[in-house]
Structure 1
Amino acid sequence: MLQCCSAAESSQHLFFQCPFSRHLMQQVLAWMGVTRGVLSLKHELYKIALCRGTRWRRKAVCCSLAAAVYYIWQERNRRIFDGGCLRVDQLIRKLKYDVCVRMYAWSRGVDNSPMLSMLLG
């Protein structure tokens, strides 16, 4: 739980019932051009499996969902263990940067490059 105190910590709450994570995911979906509301993580994964479009678009959507899950979990840990927090807009900015770098690297055939790992820290 992102210390929102609205429910007990669970994977369902964290991904994406918590208002913080729901807002973050809504921003990610909007960035990807998806106009529907946020679903549960299980249903988001199902929707990705059904994603139509180019291979590049499917990879971008998958990468964006993976980044959202990663940043939500990282923010949960930051709030619990470090006592700090970031705003949704800060996480979205980081997420977009990471996804763009990974997609660019993938398009260049260097998606598993040590240089990419170094760039993303």
Structure 2
Amino acid sequence: MVGRFPVRERLQKFQICQEMDCVVCGAGVENIQHLFFECLYSSRVLQEVKKWLQWRTPATSIRGLMSNIRHSKHNSFKKGVLIVTLAAMSYQIWLNRNEVLWQFRCKQAGSIVGALNHELNVKRRGNGGKFVLLVVIRV
């Protein structure tokens, strides 16, 4: 995320938008860090994703999550799955933000996981006590 999302903090700098409150929770300044990782809604989504993937990490920021992936003992495939899932999660949060802004509707945090499951078609299979994640990205 290179800081190019038209979040309210950035739009305010260009005098396009005067309000800076988060569209989703209304509790913080809508910037990239807040919208994707600090917002109460995004935090719930991340908790649901971690539970879905059985990913036990206390990290909640993009740097912390990426560091956790980089330093984990997972194989490169599973690391790739986690990175793709974070990207897809961010996209779903962005879609929800726009739906709140334009349609005044907010999805349940759990439904984001359902959308991710559909988007990524992630299947878990027991393999001698280990989980194997198979990912097919739908285009």
TM (norm. structure 1) is 0.75
Contact map agreement 1:16 1:40 (CA 8 A) in 2: yes
Give the C-alpha shift of residue 91 in structure 1. Answer: 1.3
The separation in 1 between residues aligned to 2:44 and 2:24, in whole angstroms, is 15
Contact map agreement 2:57 2:68 (CA 8 A) in 1: no
- Cα distance change, pair 95–2 in 1 and its aligned pair in 2 (3 A): farther
The separation in 2 between residues aligned to 1:46 and 1:81, in whole angstroms, is 35
The separation in 2 between residues aligned to 1:104 and 1:26, in whole angstroms, is 20
Contact map agreement 1:2 1:20 (CA 8 A) in 2: no
Give the C-alpha shift of residue 38 in structure 1. Answer: 4.1
The separation in 1 between residues aligned to 2:117 and 2:74, in whole angstroms, is 20
What do the CA deviations read for 1:34-53 (whole angstroms, capped 9, x no partner)? 22334212222222222322
Aligned to 2:24: 3
What do the CA deviations read for 1:42-97 (whole angstroms, capped 9, x no partner)? 22222222232222211211111111111111111111122222111111111122
How many percent of aligned residue pairs carry the same amino acid? Answer: 23
Q: 1:1-121 alignment to 2 at 5 Å?
A: 1-100=22-121, 103-105=134-136, 116-117=138-139
The separation in 1 between residues aligned to 2:46 and 2:58, in whole angstroms, is 9
The separation in 2 between residues aligned to 1:38 and 1:79, in whole angstroms, is 27
Q: What are the ranges of 5 or more consecutive residues in structure 1 without an aligned counterpart?
A: 106-110
Give the C-alpha shift of residue 25 in structure 1. Answer: 0.4
Structure that is richer in helix per residue: 1
Contact map agreement 2:24 2:100 (CA 8 A) in 1: yes
SS of equivalent residue, structure 2 residue 121: helix
Aligned residue pair count:
108
The separation in 2 between residues aligned to 1:63 and 1:30, in whole angstroms, is 16
- Cα distance change, pair 26–38 in 1 and its aligned pair in 2 (3 A): farther
Give the C-alpha shift of residue 23 in structure 1. Answer: 0.6
TM (norm. structure 2) is 0.67
